């Protein structure tokens, strides 16, 4: 986007964001016209093949293919008008041509494509429809007869309403016919060409988004039975937790079972919530597109809004219920696991306290034994030293000194005993002082 000289530099995304409001414009249509629409769910890795397939069709008609960066594109291919749109999970192909077929839906626009091209589009078909835009019956408030509707939809129940505040009429049976396509009939009373294009695009998008929303329904139905089994298992484990108040070993086993159950619930949540979230978003788009039709009731027919409220809403409620129950189960399993973990921790703390008490008791016994051994050690030391004194006294007597070895040895005994006691006492005091000093340093370090 060129930047005006009076403005600061553009934000890098300014042009893209400004163009977003104009994204996917409808093709102007004038009655009589026909259209074919196909919505194909496609994986990310097949996007390149999708563009190559479109490019092959363009080459055949001498038209430049869409650039690789675009998400919407339209071109004229001979008598056809081709419109391609890339959505988040699917791509849509719409083909238009002026004029009507001799009989209703007898010559669909898709049949005018090269043989096999549409069947070769990468991806899986989610929705396909043929549409016919024709002039409404003449006269104020005139409506097509039941025979005319039956010619388009057979014996199926038709849903229809005035659209655009009465500027046109829309009819469908929401049925996949034998050719694999649904059918839409739009009758123009006083719609402009752009209004006709918008209304037809909304009709196509209502069904495409409805089908994308319903992709979550098989998943929800498949998980229902498993949800019931998990809930019953959780109820049984919770009851066992309530009644098992003494057996710590059983608590450990229960905790392992709860952890396995939590893993299963979280795995199910991780595998389904993206689909359920997308389903809610598509459902909201369906409601928005129906509102944009601005329907007016036709006597004797259900409106499109009524039909969707009766058929689509219950399916979406089922998906929402399964999603919510999964979240509730996750919370309940987490609460039960937390409760049991707390009880197991308390039991382990009590066991640790008992072990510490037993260790302290053993330490006291070891101290008493050590004190007893120390007393015996003092006696042994005194006995050994007394022997040395005796030997010394005998040596002195042999040297000619007037010394009594027995008297000197006996006198040395109390002195030696007192000295040994004093030495042991000093050792104990030194050890106690070192322990107190180490404890004080540790306290200061951690503080």
Cα–Cα distance between 323 and 327 in angstroms, integer?
7
Indicate whether 411 pLDDT > 90: no
- 219 vs 261, residue with greater confidence: 219
Phi, psi at 26, each rounded to 5°? -75, 155
Spell out the residues 6+ positions from residue 283 whose beta carbon is closer than 8 angstroms to its own: 209, 213, 312, 316
Winning range, highest mean pLDDT, from 11-15, 201-205, 380-384, 422-426: 201-205
pLDDT value, residue 246? 57
User: pLDDT grade, residue 294 (50/70/90)?
Assistant: very high
Query: For the residues 169-187, what does the mean pLDDT come to?
Result: 95
**Per-chain mean pLDDT for the chain:** 85
What phi-psi label fits residue 164: left (phi over 0), alpha (psi between -120 and 50 degrees) or beta? Answer: left
User: pLDDT grade, residue 249 (50/70/90)?
Assistant: low
Helix (H, G, I), strand (E, B) or coil at 74: strand
Indicate whether 376 pLDDT > 70: no
Indicate whether 133 pLDDT > 90: yes
Chain segment 68-127, per-residue pLDDT in tens? 888 899 999 999 999 999 998 999 999 999 999 988 899 999 999 999 999 999 999 999
Cα–Cα distance between 105 and 103 in angstroms, integer?
6
Query: For the residues 196-211, what does the mean pLDDT come to?
Result: 96
Closest CA relative to residue 292, chosen from 216, 209, 214 = 209
User: pLDDT grade, residue 200 (50/70/90)?
Assistant: very high
**Which pTM was predicted?**
0.74
Chain segment 56-78, per-residue pLDDT in tens? 999 999 999 998 888 899 999 99
User: pLDDT grade, residue 291 (50/70/90)?
Assistant: very high
Indicate whether 142 pLDDT > 80: yes
Any idea what DSSP says for residue 173? -
Indicate whether 446 pLDDT > 60: no
Chain segment 316-358, per-residue pLDDT in tens? 999 999 998 888 888 877 777 766 666 666 566 666 777 777 7
Residue 186 near residue 201 (C-beta atoms within 8 A): no
Chain segment 22-60, per-residue pLDDT in tens? 777 889 999 999 999 999 999 888 889 999 999 999 999
């Amino acid at each position: 986007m060129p930047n005006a000289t009076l403005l600061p530099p553009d934000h890098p995304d300014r042009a893209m964001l400004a163009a977003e409001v104009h994204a996917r414009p409808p093709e102007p249509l004038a009655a009589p016209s026909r259209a074919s629409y196909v919505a194909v769910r496609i994986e990310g890795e097949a996007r390149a093949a999708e563009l190559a397939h479109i490019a092959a069709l363009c080459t055949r008609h001498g038209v430049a293919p869409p650039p690789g960066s675009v998400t919407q594109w339209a071109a004229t291919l001979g008598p056809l008008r081709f419109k391609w749109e890339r959505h988040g999970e699917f791509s849509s192909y719409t083909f238009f041509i002026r004029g009507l077929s001799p009989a209703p839906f007898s010559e669909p626009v898709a049949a005018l494509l090269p043989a096999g091209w549409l069947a070769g589009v990468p991806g899986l078909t989610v929705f396909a429809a043929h549409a016919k835009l024709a002039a409404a019956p003449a006269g104020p408030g005139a409506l097509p007869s039941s025979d005319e509707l039956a010619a388009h939809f057979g014996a199926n129940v038709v849903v229809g309403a005035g659209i655009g505040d009465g500027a046109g009429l829309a009819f469908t049976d929401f049925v996949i016919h034998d050719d694999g396509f649904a059918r839409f009939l739009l009758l123009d009373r006083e719609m402009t060409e752009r209004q006709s294009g918008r209304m037809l695009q909304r009709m196509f998008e209502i069904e495409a988004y409805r089908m994308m929303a319903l992709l979550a329904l098989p998943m929800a139905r498949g998980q229902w039975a498993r949800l019931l089994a998990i809930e019953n298992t959780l109820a049984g484990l919770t009851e066992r937790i309530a009644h098992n108040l003494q057996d710590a070993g059983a608590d450990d086993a229960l905790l392992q079972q709860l952890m396995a159950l939590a893993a299963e619930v979280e795995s199910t949540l991780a595998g389904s919530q993206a689909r359920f979230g997308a389903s809610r978003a598509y459902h909201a788009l369906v409601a928005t597109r129906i509102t944009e039709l601005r329907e007016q009731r036709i006597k004797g027919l259900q409106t499109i809004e009524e039909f969707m409220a009766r058929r689509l809403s219950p399916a979406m409620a089922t998906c929402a219920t399964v999603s919510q129950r999964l979240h509730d189960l996750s919370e309940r399993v987490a609460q039960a696991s937390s409760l049991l973990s707390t009880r197991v921790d308390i039991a382990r703390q009590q066991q640790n306290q008992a072990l510490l008490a037993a260790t302290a008791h053993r330490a006291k016994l070891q101290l008493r034994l050590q004190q007893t051994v120390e007393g015996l050690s003092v006696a042994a030391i005194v006995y050994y030293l007394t022997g040395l004194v005796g030997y010394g006294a005998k040596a002195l007597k042999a040297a000619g000194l007037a010394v009594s070895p027995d008297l000197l040895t006996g006198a040395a005994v109390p002195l030696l005993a007192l000295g040994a006691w004093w030495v042991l006492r000093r050792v104990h005091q030194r050890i106690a002082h070192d322990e107190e000093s180490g404890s004080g340093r540790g306290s200061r370090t951690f503080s």
